Amino acid sequence: MNIWILDDDEAMVSLLSRQSQKLNWNVQALHHPRQLPQALQEGQPDVLVLDQLLPEKHGLDVLASLQQAGRAFPVLILSALGAPSDRIAGLEAGADDYLSKPFHFRELQLRVERLLRNPYSSPQAERAPSLPSGTFQLANLRFEAGQHPRLISDERGVQRMSRGECALLYAFCRSQGAPLSRAQLLQATGSLVVPGQTRTIDVRVSRLRRVLRDLAGEELIQPERGMGYRLVADVKELPHGQPQDSPA
């Protein structure tokens, strides 16, 4: 497994690299944000472990650049910024998971392995037949799942999606209007956290609701008291290969 770590703490990255060798992980260390675009020209990681406090460029800005480029791999933020507001900001920005420093290597291992096992997050699995993909019409939006997920509005243009957002919306589209519990939604995104111990999934759903509302002009996901959330828009799965007119 190819694990990239973008962190300017060279001593910590060296230690992580030595520990990772015992797991047969291939770790590539990057210590400056400007090294990432060049590395991505030659390949991509199975998981990117991303620090926030980087030289010249904040980690969330790096994440935003990856989002705009339509990244096809999960990102785990590993940061000394561990306040709830920092974790929420990271998840809202599209990170697939967030771990605060100091940390136990075993916890990092478990979180990375969960991201690797998630069939929607792993680039290798994206090439497998089980990859969740398809095109859906919901309200006045078109949702294209796949390697570069996006939402398309004829009036408001194209919105790129993170892997986590896409996994959530795919689960909602497949639910046929039935409420989905927080546990089901956490499972859909490959999260390790326990539903009763965190508001992580609420933060992720809130961000997805805002993206949909901004594009569609109406609320498409509603909370269900004591149950979770439900997609209230009519959903139609479009035939594979059906020609579509979309904004450039």
pLDDT, tens only, 180-226: 988 888 777 765 454 554 566 788 888 899 999 999 999 999 999 88
Please give the pLDDT value at position 118.
62
Please give the pLDDT value at position 161.
82
DSSP the chain: -EEEEE-S-HHHHHHHHHHHHTTT-EEEEE-STTHHHHHHTT---SEEEE-SS-SSS-HHHHHHHHHHTT--S-EEEEES--SHHHHHHHHHTT-SEEEESS--HHHHHHHHHHHHH-TTT-HHHHTSTT---EEEEETTEEEEESSS-EEEETTTEEEE--HHHHHHHHHHHHTTT--B-HHHHHHHHT--S-GGG--HHHHHHHHHHHHHHHHHSS--EEEETTTEEEE-S-EEEEPTT-------
Please give the pLDDT value at position 132.
63
For domain 134-238, say whether CATH 1.10.10.10 is its number.
Answer: yes
CATH, domain range 2-126: 3.40.50.2300
Q: Is the predicted pLDDT of residue 120 greater than 60, yes or no?
A: no
What are the residue ranges spanned by the domains of the chain?
2-126, 134-238
Please give the pLDDT value at position 131.
47
Q: Is the predicted pLDDT of residue 160 greater than 60, yes or no?
A: yes
Global confidence as pTM: 0.55
Question: With bands split at pLDDT 50, 70 and 90, how would you rate the model's confidence at 90?
Answer: confident
Question: With bands split at pLDDT 50, 70 and 90, how would you rate the model's confidence at 27?
Answer: very high
